[in-house]
Structures are given as C-alpha cells and as structure tokens.
Amino acid sequence: MKILITGAKGQLGSQIMNIIRQGKSELGIIPEAIATADVRGIDIEDLDLTNLNEVRNYIDKLMPDVVINPAAYTNVDACEENQDIAFKVNALAARNIAIVCEEIGAKLIHISTDYVFSGQGDTPIKEYDTPSPVSVYGKTKLAGEEFIKKYSSKYFIVRTAWLYGYNGKNFVYTIMKAAKEKGHLTVVDDQRGNPTNAEDLAHHLLKLAVTEEYGVYHCTGKGECSWYDFAKAIVEGSNIDCAVEAITSDKLVERAAKRPSYSSLDNMMLRCTVGDEMRDWKDALEVFLNKVNNL
C-alpha cells in the first residue's frame, strides 16, 4: 500500500506520520497494511495543492492507494481578510486532489471542521444535519466537501473540532504558555464543543483507510465543554498557578470571524461502521498533559 499525506508538518499530519512509524497509537495497534505501507509526507514547499496540473503530475508519478489531506488554511480570522487564499487552499485544493484521486482510483481521506455548521443548536450535530457556515473559513471548508462529493467516489470526509496535538500551535499550548506568563486568564464560557486529541483522530483515520466505508464522518473527543472548561482543565492538569475566569463572548475584543456558539458533534457514522474508540476529552487531555509536562 502507498499512502500520501499532505500537510505532513502540521499537527495532524505529523501525528499520522508518527503513528505509522511506530505501528501503533495511544489507542492501540494500527492495521498491518498501514504499518507496512510506503508512506510519503509532503507540505507546502513540496507541492502547490491549489494547482491542478501540479497535483496531477505529482500524484500520477507516486500512484498512491490512499491520500490523506489534513492540509488547510485554518486561521479563522485571516480567512475573512484573505478570502481568495482561503478558497484556493480549503476548496480548490480539495477539488484538485479529489479529481486526481478519482482518475487513479485512490481513496481520499479529507479533514473538515465543525465550522461548517452555524452553531445555533443545542444538541450534538449528526452527519446528516444540514451545514450552514457563518464564517469564510467554514464556507470554504464546506465548498471543499462539496467538490469532493462531486469529483470522488471513494471519499471519507472527516469533520473534527477543537484539535490539539503534540506538534504545532494549538489551544492547549497557548493556554499553558499564557497561564505561566500571566497568572490570570479570562476565557469564554458561552461557546461549546468537543476538544479532540490529534492522536485519537489520526488513529481513526488510519482505521478508515483500510475499509470501503465511504461517506461523511464526525470524529471528536467524547463529551463537550466550553472553552472556559477546557482552559481550566489544561491549567489544573498542568499544575500551573493561574486563576481562570469565565466571561461571555460579547466581552471580547471583536474578531473578524464569527464563531459557532454550539458545535458539538456526534460521532454517529463511526459508531455505525468501524466503531467509535475516541476517548473522553478529559481522559485524552490528561494523557496529553502528562506527556508534554514530563518531556
């Protein structure tokens, strides 16, 4: 088996690469076909995913059986200011990969987001619920999903949320750094979702890769919380002497992009197909903090 991973230097791409090298994740052994696969990781300096001809030339030479695409423009506020770039990276790149995967018969695993939903509800969102994004980031990621559905017949669109991993920038590292430096933090408590450990997400992506259970998936940590709850758990789990105060979103300096107030996802498709082994968000965070704090 040959596997191509885009965004291989990002927090999810690098996590996938590490798990394949080790042959296992924190959740257990990965499929043998994955552990023994020929894996190629690429990033922005290796290939311009927004250029169809370049994508076609590169993938045609490699001829992968599976392409995993975590690459994205994820700066939510910057997407509002750079809409063409957001569309090229989040939508056209997905289209290009889908077209070429279909031409060679490869499976495509594409990472999407909870931001494709409006955040107006109050119950966990299922895969069949209708997307209605309120930000450019969410709109361009949804456009990418639609391109994939149109051009690929062997796709897994996997929506995740509040992702953090051992490599790269994320909310956990940001809170840890700020807590140590400031000793007092204010964090919103009126936005709710699912913290997701990249280790858990990567494990499930690799489970899907050896199947033909195509479709749209939600893949997030079990349980939900507010950003305040998440931040408080990070500070307490890191034994940092810092007070964490809850505030409402209207008290924040206005940001360019609107955030969903409620974007908790339900992993229904996982439960009904390959099985949902995602950890409770508190348990996954505890393991993560124990590792990073003992390095």
pLDDT tens per residue across all 295 residues of the chain: 999 999 999 999 999 999 999 999 999 999 999 999 999 999 999 999 999 999 999 999 999 999 999 999 999 999 999 999 999 999 999 999 999 999 999 999 999 999 999 999 899 999 999 999 999 999 999 999 999 999 999 999 999 999 999 998 999 999 999 999 999 999 999 999 999 999 999 999 999 999 999 999 999 999 999 999 999 999 999 999 999 999 998 877 667 678 889 999 999 999 999 999 999 999 999 999 999 987 6
Let me know if domain 2-170+196-223+263-280 sits in CATH 3.40.50.700.
no
Q: Are 263 and 117 in contact (CB under 8 A)?
A: yes
Residue found under tokens 């408080």: 232
Angstrom CA distances, 50 to 90, 107, 228, stand at 9, 19, 37
Task: For residue 170, list its beta bridge partners.
Answer: none
- What pLDDT score does 45 carry? 94
Task: Note the pTM of the prediction, 2 decimals.
Answer: 0.96
What are 198's two structure tokens?
Answer: 């990249």
Q: In terms of DSSP bridges, do strands 192-193 and 225-226 run parallel, antiparallel, or are they unpaired? A: antiparallel
pLDDT of residue 179: 97
Q: Active site includes 137? A: yes
| pLDDT (0 to 100) of residue 238 | 96
Q: What is the 3-state secondary structure (H, E, C) of the chain?
A: CEEEECCCCCHHHHHHHHHHHHCEECCEECCHHHHCCEEEECCCCCCCCCCHHHHHHHHHHHCCCEEEECCCCCCHHHHHHCHHHHHHHHHHHHHHHHHHHHHHCCEEEEEEEHHHCCCCCCCCECCCCCCCCCCHHHHHHHHHHHHHHHHCCCEEEEEECCEECCCCCCHHHHHHHHHHHHCEEEEECCCEECCEEHHHHHHHHHHHHCCCCCEEEECCCECCEEHHHHHHHHHHHCCCCCEEEEECHHHCCCCCCCCCCECCECCHHHHHCCCCCCCEHHHHHHHHHHHHHCC
Which of 137, 166, 217, 262 is labelled catalytic? 137
pLDDT at site 259: 87
Query: 């409770």: which residue's tokens?
Result: 280
Q: How far apart are CA 96 and CA 98, in angstroms?
A: 5
How far, in Å, are 16, 34, 218, 264 from residue 145 at the CA level?
A: 21, 25, 13, 19
**CA pair distance 94, 141, nearest whole angstrom:** 9
